[in-house]
Structure 1
Amino acid sequence: MRQKIKHIPLNPMADMFGPGIAIGKASVNELSTFGQAELRTLKQAKQSHRDDYHLFFLPEKGTISIEIDFQKYDIKQSSVIYIHPHQVHRVITFEQVTVSFWVINTENLHPEYLNVLADIAPAKPLSLTKETFSIISEAASLCLKLSERTNDKLYHSLLKDSCNTLVALVASQYVETSKPADKLSRFELITKAFKSALEREYATVKKPTAYAQKLNISTDYLNECVKNTTGHSVSYHIQQRVILEAKRLLYHSDRSVKEIAAELGYDDYPYFSRFFTKVTGITALTFRNRNPE
């Protein structure tokens, strides 16, 4: 049974890795070889939580199973995964595996790469070609060596630039699977702008008209763009984003449905309850009481 708490745990960068940037490699053959500190870290990772930093995993041997926002992913060798800040996730299995990882907070991330990551989030595991995997793995090993040169005069700059290089290598692979920005149609550009605004303001802005006004277009045209691009209306996307956050809070915290409704911008608690049931097909309390698979 999952542990209930008032708020979803947030792991601050400073508490987990120190200031700003960290690069590492972990080889786990038998958990029985772990020390107390390592076991505590793994225990934290296995509990649902959020991070306030950008996280990348590159398995070099074995498979890591991770749950991200109610979806389980098996991340195998020659693949990579990016988890963006505030996604709720937990490690399910982490044994008989070697994995490189790097974490970086927004302040140290190159602005161009930050924009790219915002466009691909939430990201699914991405399979890499043998050549690309080899390049990224070698780059991660070099970055790890640089991270150990703590006495270098330009240590922070070396660490920041090397980690950003890793981020760019991974982000470029995600970009290759999507259409280039200069090839996007006007419908796709408007949909992209809408989704960006929605991510920022889903808790306070619920009406398609308000998003259309922010983009300086008519509501009908915004709906046309979004439906043409995604197959769903603007209202559908607003509802799904609100419901995702509601599910996170219901499942991973013990805040009351009324408290969650208020946090998501619904002063009318009964209306929120009806809305949740209409969209999901079950009541909020039924969803909360379901056991994890």
Structure 2
Amino acid sequence: MNRRAHTIPLNTMASTFGTGIFLETASSRDVELHKPAAEAHRDDYHLFCIQDQGTTTFEIDFQRYEVVGAALMYIQPNQVHRVIGVEKANFRVLIISHDNLHPEILNTLQEIAPAKPLRLSQEAFSLVSESMSLCIKHFQRKQEKLYHIILRESCNALVALITSQYSALTKPTETLSRFDVITKTFKSILEKDFTLIKRPTDYARRLKVSTVYLNECVKKSTGQPVRYHIQQRIILEAKRLLYHSNKSVKEIAFELGYDDYPYFSRLFTKIVGMTALSFRKKNLD
């Protein structure tokens, strides 16, 4: 069995939708007919889904989720995901590009990622549901003089509302300690530059703190040192490419910023407990 492409398929906002904001209502049948959804892929846009009823099973970065009944789902750009199955489900979906979201909302989305499916109280779900319905109505009224402004602002309000539901589960920003703030900033830089920056010292330099202090902050906030988070982010990307593409281990090492292929191989084996080729074979059998 070798259905893998040379790299992980990427759906882009421009080529898939031809616009920066897209909304739709869908059902189980629509998903079943949309075969690409069943193949592992990435998106370069933000995807928000409200499931009104039914059951959806899907996979995000090797985590399998079964969503039953009314729930929210958020898939961030570049997460590798696929739909495994749907049963009697109805959805409403918002797909929106980076540049159509307010910077404050983007920052908060980064803080809650990766986000698991979320069940809400009946009152909260009703509020989110009404907001989504309003956005869909705005999306359909293309004749409005200020159509793009109305659509963008209503969708930002919806995303802010959804994001607030996720944020309610985490520590409020105003109560974050200095350690937490440093750790959040470190993780933000890590997500952007993990293929370029590998050493804790270089992250500390970017944050204008000492390596010892950065390590103290991150370990106090997460229970794990800086190097652990760097390695885990690299290994996640390596697993994605090993499973979902047919690139060689050497190509993957180079893509992740390692000119020293043997070193990368040893690192993968140390972290995962098996060689990269063994991981590929185990997960494709």
Partner of 1:45: 37
Specify which of 152, 158, 161 is matched with residue 160 of structure 1.
Answer: 152
How do 1:234-273 residues align onto structure 2 when only pairs under 5 Å count? Answer: 234-273=226-265
Pair 1:285-2:277 in alignment: yes
What amino acid is the match of 2:25? Answer: K
CA offsets 1:108-142 (integer angstroms, 9 cap, x no match): 01111111001111111111110011111111112
Spell out the pairing of 1:65-76 with structure 2 (5 A cutoff): 65-76=57-68
Offset from partner CA, 1:26-67 (integer Å, 9 cap, x none): 123xx4xx6xxx766x21111000001000111101121110
Contact 2:243 2:283 in 1 (8 A): no
Report the 3-state secondary structure (helix = DSSP H, G, I; strand = E; otherwise coil) of the residue aligned with 1:290.
Answer: helix
Q: Which moved more, 1:14-23 or 1:235-244?
A: 14-23
2:149 partner amino acid: S
Q: Which 5+ residue runs of structure 2 have no aligned equivalent?
A: none
Q: What amino acid maps onto 1:243 in structure 2?
A: I
Letter in 2 for 1:18: G
1:129 counterpart = 2:125: no
- Tell me, yes or no, if structure 1 residue 59 matches structure 2 residue 51: yes
1:246 and 1:144 mapped to 2: Cα distance?
38
Preserved contact between residue 50 and residue 73 of structure 2 (Cα < 8 Å): yes
- Deviation track 1:226-245 (CA, whole Å, cap 9, x = no partner) reads 11110101110000000000
Aligned to 1:21: 21
Q: Does 1:100 align with 2:95?
A: no
Question: Would you say the 8 A contact 1:58–1:77 is kept in 2?
Answer: no
Measured after TM superposition, the shift of residue 201 of structure 1 is: 1.1
The Cα of 1:259 is off from its aligned counterpart by: 0.5
Structure 1: 5+ residue stretches without partners: none
Structure 1's 2 and 46: CA in aligned 2 closer, same or farther, altered over 3 A?
Answer: farther
Shift in alpha-carbon separation, 1:269–1:287, aligned structure 2, 3 A: same
> In structure 1, which of residues 144, 158, 174 is the aligned counterpart of residue 136 of structure 2?
144
Q: What is the aligned partner in structure 1 of residue 80 from structure 2?
A: 88
Q: TM-score, normalised by structure 1?
A: 0.94
- Give the Cα–Cα distance (whole angstroms) in 2 for the partners of residues 168 and 143 of structure 1: 13
Alignment check: 8 A CA contact 1:23 1:163 kept: no
**Counterpart of 2:21 in structure 1: which amino acid?**
I
Q: Which amino acid aligns with 2:176?
A: L
Quick one: distance in 1 between partners of 2:136 and 2:208?
47
- CA distance in structure 1 between the partners assigned to 2:56 and 2:32 by the alignment: 17
Contact 2:52 2:89 in 1 (8 A): yes
Please state whether the residue corresponding to 2:283 is helix, strand or coil: coil
Please give the secondary structure, in 2, of the residue aligned with 1:67.
Answer: strand
SS in 2 for 1:62: strand
Distance 2:177 2:220 in 1: 11
Distance 2:86 2:186 in 1: 37
CA contact (8 A) 1:84 1:122 kept: yes
State the distance in 2 between where 1:111 and 1:291 align: 38
Do 1:9 and 1:48's aligned partners in 2 also have CA atoms closer than 8 Å? Answer: yes
CA distance in 2, matches of 1:149, 1:140: 15
Alpha-carbon separation, structure 1, partners of 2:190 and 2:274: 24
Query: Is contact 2:74–2:115 with CA below 8 Å preserved after alignment?
Result: yes
> Structure 1 residues 292 and 93 mapped into 2: Cα distance closer, same or farther (>3 Å)?
farther
| Contact 1:57 1:102 (C-alpha < 8 Å) held by counterparts | yes
